[in-house]
Structure 1
Amino acid sequence: MDFVTSLFVRKMVAASTLDQAKLLASVGLSADATIDPKAMVAATAYYELLERIAAETDATALPLRTGASMRCDDYGALGLAFKAAPTLRDSYARVARFARLWTNVVEYSSERTDAGTWFNLHRHGPRRLGMRLSNEATLASAIAIGREVSPDGQLRAQEVHLTHAPPPTLQQHRDYFDCPVIFNSDRDGIIFANASLDRPNKLGDQGITQFLITHLEQELAQVTSQSQLQDRIRDLIARSLSEGQPKMDDIARRLGMSSRSLHRRLSDDGVSFQTLAETTRKELAIGMLGDARFSLSEVAFLTGFAEQSSFNRAFKRWLGVTPANFRKERGQV
Structure 2
Amino acid sequence: MQQLKDYTGSVYGGLGHLLYAYHQANGIAITEKLKNIQNLERFEYVVWRDLLMELDQQLNKPALGLEIAELVQPKHIGIIAYIALSCENLGEAMLRYHDFHRLIFDGSPLQVEVQNDYFSIGWNDLPLNMANQLTDEVAIALMLQFLKHFMSFEDICLHEVHFHNPAPKNVAQYEQYFRCKVRFSQEKSKVILPIQELSRPFAQGDQTLQKLLMQQAQSLLEKLPNTTQIDQRLQQAILMGLQKNLFQIEHIALQLNLSVRQLQRHLQQQGTTYQQRMQEVRCMMAEAFLRDPHLSLQEIALLLGYSEQSAFQRAFKQWRSQTPQQWRQQQTRPHMQ
TM range (shorter): 0.5 to 0.7
Post-superposition offset of 1:91: 0.5
C-alpha contact 1:27 1:46 (8 A) present in aligned 2: no
Q: Helix, strand or coil: the match of 1:69?
A: coil
Aligned length in residues? 220
Q: Per the alignment, do residues 60 and 222 of structure 1 end up closer, same or farther by CA in structure 2, a change over 3 Å counting?
A: farther
Mapping for residues 105-184 of structure 1, pairs under 5 Å: 105-127=107-129, 131-150=132-151, 153-184=154-185
C-alpha contact 2:9 2:106 (8 A) present in aligned 1: yes
Q: Helix, strand or coil: the match of 2:170?
A: coil
Q: Per the alignment, do residues 145 and 84 of structure 1 end up closer, same or farther by CA in structure 2, a change over 3 Å counting?
A: same
Mapping for residues 146-295 of structure 1, pairs under 5 Å: 146-150=147-151, 153-203=154-204, 210-214=241-245, 215-216=301-302, 221-222=308-309
Q: Which residue of 1 aligns with 2:46?
A: 44
Q: Per the alignment, do residues 89 and 111 of structure 1 end up closer, same or farther by CA in structure 2, a change over 3 Å counting?
A: same
Post-superposition offset of 1:65: 1.2
User: In the aligned structure 2, how far is the partner of 1:139 from the partner of 1:18?
Assistant: 25
Q: AA paired with 1:12?
A: L
User: CA-to-partner distance for each residue in 1:233-262, whole Å, 9 max, x for gaps?
Assistant: xxxxxxxxxxxxxxxxxxxxxxxxxxxxxx
The alignment's C-alpha RMSD in Å is: 3.4
Post-superposition offset of 1:221: 3.0
Q: Which residue of 1 aligns with 2:60?
A: 58
User: CA-to-partner distance for each residue in 1:113-163, whole Å, 9 max, x for gaps?
Assistant: 2221001122421155x6431110111112222233236852121100011
Q: Per the alignment, do residues 221 and 135 of structure 1 end up closer, same or farther by CA in structure 2, a change over 3 Å counting?
A: farther
User: In the aligned structure 2, how far is the partner of 1:116 from the partner of 1:212?
Assistant: 29
Q: Which residue of 2 aligns with 1:19?
A: 28
Post-superposition offset of 1:88: 0.9
User: In the aligned structure 1, how far is the partner of 2:308 from the partner of 2:183?
Assistant: 37
C-alpha contact 1:85 1:91 (8 A) present in aligned 2: yes
Q: AA paired with 2:161?
A: V
User: In the aligned structure 1, how far is the partner of 2:84 from the partner of 2:243?
Assistant: 10
Q: Which residue of 2 aligns with 1:70?
A: 72
Runs (5+) with no aligned partner, structure 1: 224-333
Q: AA paired with 2:175?
A: R
User: In the aligned structure 1, how far is the partner of 2:96 from the partner of 2:151?
Assistant: 16
TM-score normalised per structure 1: 0.57
Residue 91 in structure 1 maps to residue 122 in structure 2:
no
Q: Per the alignment, do residues 202 and 87 of structure 1 end up closer, same or farther by CA in structure 2, a change over 3 Å counting?
A: same
The sequence identity of aligned pairs, in percent, is: 16
C-alpha contact 2:89 2:200 (8 A) present in aligned 1: yes
User: In the aligned structure 1, how far is the partner of 2:88 from the partner of 2:177?
Assistant: 26
User: In the aligned structure 2, how far is the partner of 1:5 from the partner of 1:219?
Assistant: 20
Runs (5+) with no aligned partner, structure 2: 1-7, 211-236, 246-300, 311-337
C-alpha contact 1:82 1:92 (8 A) present in aligned 2: no
Q: Per the alignment, do residues 57 and 173 of structure 1 end up closer, same or farther by CA in structure 2, a change over 3 Å counting?
A: same
Q: Per the alignment, do residues 123 and 68 of structure 1 end up closer, same or farther by CA in structure 2, a change over 3 Å counting?
A: farther
User: In the aligned structure 2, how far is the partner of 1:180 from the partner of 1:117?
Assistant: 15
TM-score normalised per structure 2: 0.56
